[in-house]
Structure 1
Amino acid sequence: MNLIKTFLFMILCTLFLSACGKTDNTSTSNSSKKEEIAENKEKLNVKITLNKKIKDNKKILISGKSNLPKETKINIYLDAPSSDQSDLAKVIVKEGGMFNYEFSNEEGEDFDGGKYIAYVETSPENLQTDHVKEIFGEDGANLAGSNVSGENSRVATAELNFKINNSSKVKQKSKKDNAAEVTNKKDEELSTLKSEAEYEIESIVEDNYKTASIEEIEINEDMGSEKPNKLIALVHLSFDAKNSARTSYNMVEMYSDDLAAKIGSENDTVNQIAVFWKVPYIDKHETLAKFSYERSGEHMIITDKVSSLR
């Protein structure tokens, strides 16, 4: 009888240890899966561009365009040359990544002349809505790109430097000074348009062409246009998939046509676009294809195609 009891006790112990082992393995497996999911969480390559508009030296409108999700909470700081403290505005990102805030002095006083800095920073992840938290990741771990900084708590930032002329001196300017100011204003406007065009081309490529990468984007003024502030885009891309020369040509032609069509409809300042392709699997150094387009109304039409892939 004792032997039977001892045998039954040993069987129960064995079953108990086996169950514990399974529980430990399941726990370890679940933990590994969670870590793998966290590692594979899609990164948000943050892009933010800032613009300003000064109204009679009494109001400063800071506006921004980004790929941040709707309802992202951000802080906009304005540093003035005559103050040791920054003006702070808390705003919410709208549909399409847009945001803005208009700064003004008390009692409608003019802003002092001098150099100003507008600085934008996303609020920490723990202050965001649940939807935004999920995209940002814990402590902003999913945020990436040149606009992102911080180690333990990552945030997205952008900065804009500009100058306000002292209003009391504006009336005393000579014709030469006024002409110089007009030129500077045009240069500033053109620079903003170039930045916006580059941002839009980057977004189209990164969001739509998974087997392509950007090497360089150059935006120049279209000096041959009769209209002001028209642009020429020179886009240098790399087709990174391993394919035959013929298949590579078909893919880069399709990507180029699609890019021209999208930028043609989304940005009417771009008059011409040329897309240059390298195909490292075929040749690491040489440009193997070029497609040129020019505007025709609201669309882009192909004007030239050259390739050694066919």
Structure 2
Amino acid sequence: MMDDVDPHIRRFHHQVNADYARLSAGGYADISARRAVAEEVRAPWTAGGPVMAKTEELIVGAGKLRVRIHRPNADPVLPVLLYIHGGGWMLFSIDTHDRLMREYAARVGCAVIGVDYSLSPEVRFPHALDEIVDVVGWVRSDGAAHGLDPERVAIGGDSAGANLSLATALRLRDAGEPPLNALLLNYGAFDTEIRDSHSRYDGDAYNLTASEMVDFWDAYLGPDGDRQSPYARPMLAKLHNLPPAFLCIAACDILADENRAMSAKLRDAGVEVRMTVYAGAIHSFLESMNISDMANTAIADGADWLKRHLKSGASAAD
């Protein structure tokens, strides 16, 4: 197994698995213990990277949500990327994804806002989605007071974060709000339907298993959740009049086929799409940026897309 995986990404995967095995040998007492282990495992991979001109945390919006704002340079007004971390709606945080957010900030030349949304199963759909829509509203109403350009706002995320990003764009469209400037969709979870890649890349060798994905959906939606809602399962949505979308697809990922299907459906709806499939990449491979050229290439590709649609200059990354 894993002969088809890039060797540097394989090294990342093996180290992450070894750390999980070491730290969770006695099992998890509860979800808080599982999250603590997940944070510790990911901590070494967030080290290093671009130094920001300013980083601050604020409590914003009607929901009083914590956000972390990275500013890569001293420009008084910056375009914005809201970054929504992955983790199956259950795990991870703005800490586990801090390095990735700083990379996008530096490479795009924009402010990146990490959203500390509420996790499942303590809350269910659409609670986290409501929180993220609220943060978009805060950026548009109050962002200018913090040096954020309310007219140049993109949203993106990985895995569950890509789901929430696309669902946010759908909610804004259906509410008659102005569209965002761009979508950054990194190996998103867009549907509960089983596709060929679920069996082809199932198993621990490829980082995300089909059974884990079932557990994540169950935690997010709950026993009485609306599994036909297009805001929960964006594959069911009508996708017209959405922002331009970049889809980063890990070829060796159980979610690969649904991401290809989402790309095709967006194009069919008239949305501007760029889809790039990274051969030898597994789920969460962007987090291997410390050692993987492929991860860095994928981050750069997404950053170039955002830069074009936000019309920003990445002076901090040059």
TM-score, normalised to structure 1's length? Answer: 0.24
Higher Rg: 1
Whichever structure has more strand as a proportion of its residues is 1
Whichever structure has more helix as a proportion of its residues is 2
Between 1 and 2, higher relative CO (CA 8 Å, sep ≥ 6) is seen in 2
